[in-house]
Amino acid sequence: MDMEDRERWKQDRGERRKEAESQRRRIIEQEKKRRRQVVRKQRAILGGAAVLLLLFIWGGVSVWMGRKSSEEQRKDEAALETAAKEQEKAERREKKQHAEEEMESAMTSLESTVEDLISDYDGNWSVYVEELEYENDFSINNQGIYPASLVKIYTMAATFANMEQVIKNETDYLGSEESAKATVAQLLENMIEISDNESYNELVRLQSSDRDFGEGCGYINAYLQEEGYTGTGVHTTLHPAASSMENDGLGDNVTCVEDCGKLLEKIYKGSCGSQEDSGEMLHLLLNQENTLKIPEGLPEGIEVAHKTGETSEVQHDVGIIYGESTDFILCIMVDELTSSADVYTQYHELTETVYDALN
């Protein structure tokens, strides 16, 4: 190869090298450009994903915060409602306590007033008062006294308690259960509403299958002891009456104002026997025809379920008074009277005093 050819070959080789280097650089630049594009895409994808993630997190937090806010609001509302109810209960308790304290104070003052009143009255006065809303009560001179017709309310209660046997005993005598039921109902009505003595005598006998008065007293007295009327006993017939005098040999009839009050309270609350029985007894007492004592001392229109008892030496009246604002029980028993001239006036004064203090 001559010098010219060699130079040409060298020149061609240099150009080829340059071309190869240029091509290599182009490839490298293209690769770099491709890589930059890939990186940009990756960054865009990552950026979008990050944005989506942020949006997701933000949305989740917002929902959670919203739920939390709603839950907290419900909790706050429930707490406020509970607090309001507790406040209302506290106010009711406070109001009730205040009313109880006022009534207790009124009863204390009334007891003193009643003691002063009866100290100037003729005879020996026993008084029991119970206001029925808060069940405050007091008694003055509670003692055993001849009850006269008050004994009939205990015979009434015992008859209802022993009604099945009473009906059976009367059925055996009359031969008809229907007639027996009608007869017993009529005896109860006459004994309480018009205070018929023979109806009392007969109902005592009907406690016994042998229609024996003394045995009937035994059944009634067992009932009285069981019910806690420890100051009361049924032992003799009442007169004037169609039948002859009978007794159980254990003394005279007796009761006291506290026992009378206890029985009337049970009738009032519907717990003297069944509620139905209590209702029937209350109905009988509301129809009492003798209204000369307690009822005459009450304002017009005030209902009283009561029973009287009287002889020449005793004047009794016990009842449930349905007051305008307070129902109460008033039991008055008077014995050892030297004169009955003022007893009704004194009854009225005492009844009015008690009613006004409680209503």
DSSP string covering 214-226: HHHHHHHHHHHHH
Instruction: Find the helix or strand (DSSP H, E) in which 110 lies.
Output: helix 3-119
The domain segmentation of the chain, as residue ranges, is 99-145+256-359, 146-255
Q: Which residues contact 163 (CB under 8 A, 6 or more apart)?
A: 184, 277
Three-state secondary structure call for residue 254: strand
pLDDT tens series, the chain, 359 aa = 556 655 665 566 556 656 655 665 665 566 567 666 655 666 666 666 555 555 655 655 455 555 656 777 787 777 778 877 887 888 788 888 888 889 999 999 999 999 999 999 999 999 999 999 999 999 999 999 999 999 999 999 999 999 999 999 999 999 999 999 999 999 999 999 999 999 999 999 999 999 999 999 999 999 999 999 999 999 999 999 999 999 999 999 999 999 999 999 999 999 999 999 999 999 999 999 999 999 999 999 999 999 999 999 999 999 999 999 999 999 999 999 998 889 999 999 999 999 999 99
Q: Which residues contact 64 (CB under 8 A, 6 or more apart)?
A: none
Q: How far apart are CA 252 and CA 250, in angstroms?
A: 7
Three-state secondary structure call for residue 113: helix
- Is CATH 3.40.50.12780 the right assignment for the domain spanning 99-145+256-359? no
Cα distances (angstroms) measured from residue 309 to each of 141, 203, 293, 313: 18, 18, 10, 11
pLDDT at 71: 77
DSSP string covering 145-187: B--GGGHHHHHHHHHHHTHHHHHHHHHHHHS-HHHHHHHHHHH
pLDDT at 54: 58
pLDDT at 330: 98
pLDDT at 261: 98
Q: Per the structure block, which two tokens stand in for 93?
A: 């308790």
pLDDT at 56: 58
Unique residue bearing structure tokens 């016994």:
208
Q: Are 207 and 220 in contact (CB under 8 A)?
A: yes
pLDDT at 295: 98
- Give the alpha-carbon dihedral of 66, 67, 73, 79, to 10 degrees: -160
